[in-house]
Structure 1
Amino acid sequence: MDDSKIKQYGDELYECWRDRRTVAPLREREPDITIADAYRIQERFVARRLAAGETIVGKKIGATSKPVQDFLGVYQPDFGMLTSGMVYQEGDTLDLSTLIQPKAEAELAFVLKEDLKGPGVTAMDVIRATDYVVPCFEIVDSRVTAWNIKIQDTVADNASCGVYVLGKTKGDPRKLDITLAGMVLEKNGEVFSTGVGAAVQGSPANAVAWLANTLGELGIPFKAGELILSGSQSALVPVVDGDELVCTVGGLGSCHVKFSGSSAV
């Protein structure tokens, strides 16, 4: 795909994010679009957000678990960039009017104390480089109409990044079994889904190592202080005004979020 089209689609996705509207899937308009093309479009989309004043604070891994892969119809992980405008803390009420067609997923966030750069990063390297982990919610959102996406669409759309909510309880991954620790997701006081760390590429640390190695091949390191969202351990949860979600990770603690307002769709 030539540079003019990369710019065109990256700008289009940025404008959809800004204006809270959707567009037809890219793969339908560009049948020959490759994943490499999609990452170049993502880079342009993110660059527009940075030019508007945001900064990159971390990375996210998407499409790591079977429930999410089944929903999206994608069967390989992807990644996106986290910006300063996406961050919420537990206790905040999340305003859905800032989003288009949000869905929540529960996962584990890693906060790094050391730089990591692949290739050759292992899960143990990830554990050693991690300052702490926290339970969190990622509220994914899509600028593609009706979530009609395949891997090229979601990659171009910055891995369907919306916003994320960080729990307050910090855990040491050297003392917590993040692979076997169970996760329970409750919606409005009732159990919605259950999961376990092993559902994410065998371990959330494996997923983070995969991303470190994938980005390392592109010359992009993880930096100390960055946040890495390791991938969903739950089914995707549609959310509307008044909903409350709680995810609890065994041995770690919980993350709680409330929603208000109405999304664009």
Structure 2
Amino acid sequence: MWDIDRVARELTCRATARRAAGRITTEWPELDLARAYTAQDRLVELRVQERAETVVGVKLGLTSEAKQRRMGISAPLTAWVTNGMRLAPGEPLEVASLIHPRVEPEIVFEMAEDLAGPGVTRESAMRAVASVRAGLEVIDSRFVDFSFALPDVVADNASAAAYVVGDMVVGPEALDLAAEPCTLTVDGESVAKATGADVQGHPGEALALAANALGERGHRIKKGSLVLTGGLTDAVFLTPGATVTATFGHLGSVSLSGT
């Protein structure tokens, strides 16, 4: 019989075994959004306990309006990132260590102070930001062909797998984040272009939404943590030997190679 702990352990086992399987909601229709977020917290708790990792930040998923309409939601998903997910700049990712990894470019915030909802606005959220960096996030669904219902992907920690942030550190006051351009390339060939406005109109809006959503669940975004504000473009598959690069207008570039 399914319960919250079984969901978390099933998804943990799939990740460890590098095995995708079917939707949990097919077998347990009672897995609603509230239960899914509880399962997500439990999944991350297991990761901390079993891998001795530390939660170091927050990530957003489904930040584009098109993806939200497709999933029938009106706001992005929130999830967690740990220190064990972080790759150093230039560190390759072994593709076989994951199931079917995809990579997407992100604008990443580092927090100067705690941020907690309710009532957080873009303006108050940005005042809590210490710095901005370029980032790449690796997503890796534990569901076959990335096919899931909304509670499935929430319980799966929004497909979190790995991430890398660039070396360049820029103060938020020096940037027009809505206009910040980004080009995504694979082996030097451009595959997508975007601006910061492709994340909720402004990445600060995504940050505010995350703080308010987490506040409803009794969580906060902590000082010193990272916030991956959501994919600026569609994600591309990472294959052995390929290099994915995000080049920004003012944040520099960041790359990830598959082995």
TM range (shorter): over 0.9
Q: Partners in 1 of 2:222 and 2:71 — Cα distance?
A: 32
Q: Partners in 1 of 2:212 and 2:81 — Cα distance?
A: 18
- Mapping of residues 1-265 of structure 1, within 5 Å: 5-52=3-50, 53-66=52-65, 69=68, 73=71, 75=73, 76-260=75-259
Q: Does the 8 A contact of 1:186 with 1:245 survive in 2?
A: yes
Q: Does the 8 A contact of 2:78 with 2:214 survive in 1?
A: no
Change beyond 3 A, Cα 1:51–1:113: same
Amino acid at match of 1:98: S
Amino acid at match of 2:27: R
Amino acid at match of 1:15: C
Extract structure 1 runs of 4+ deviating beyond 3 A: 66-70, 72-76
Q: Partners in 1 of 2:43 and 2:216 — Cα distance?
A: 21
Q: Does the 8 A contact of 2:65 with 2:200 survive in 1?
A: no
Deviations 1:75-102 (A, max 9, x none): 4411111111100122111121221111
Q: Partners in 1 of 2:236 and 2:202 — Cα distance?
A: 22
**Offset at residue 73 of structure 1 (A):** 4.3
- Structure 1 unpaired stretches of 5+: 261-265
**Offset at residue 253 of structure 1 (A):** 1.1
Structure 2 SS opposite 1:105: strand
Aligned to 1:263: none
Amino acid at match of 1:119: P
Q: Does the 8 A contact of 2:36 with 2:152 survive in 1?
A: yes
Q: Partners in 1 of 2:24 and 2:160 — Cα distance?
A: 17
Amino acid at match of 1:83: T
Q: Partners in 2 of 1:69 and 1:259 — Cα distance?
A: 29
Change beyond 3 A, Cα 1:119–1:69: closer
Amino acid at match of 1:242: G
Amino acid at match of 2:136: F
**Offset at residue 33 of structure 1 (A):** 2.2
Deviations 1:27-47 (A, max 9, x none): 211223211111111122111
Q: Does the 8 A contact of 2:104 with 2:232 survive in 1?
A: yes
Q: Does the 8 A contact of 1:68 with 1:232 survive in 2?
A: no
**Offset at residue 23 of structure 1 (A):** 2.1
**Offset at residue 68 of structure 1 (A):** 5.0
**Offset at residue 67 of structure 1 (A):** 6.0
- Structure 2 unpaired stretches of 5+: none
Amino acid at match of 2:45: A
Q: Partners in 1 of 2:120 and 2:135 — Cα distance?
A: 24
Q: Partners in 2 of 1:61 and 1:88 — Cα distance?
A: 18
Change beyond 3 A, Cα 1:237–1:41: same
TM-score calculated relative to the size of structure 2: 0.94
Deviations 1:179-212 (A, max 9, x none): 1111111111110000111111111110011000
**Offset at residue 66 of structure 1 (A):** 4.4
Amino acid at match of 2:130: D
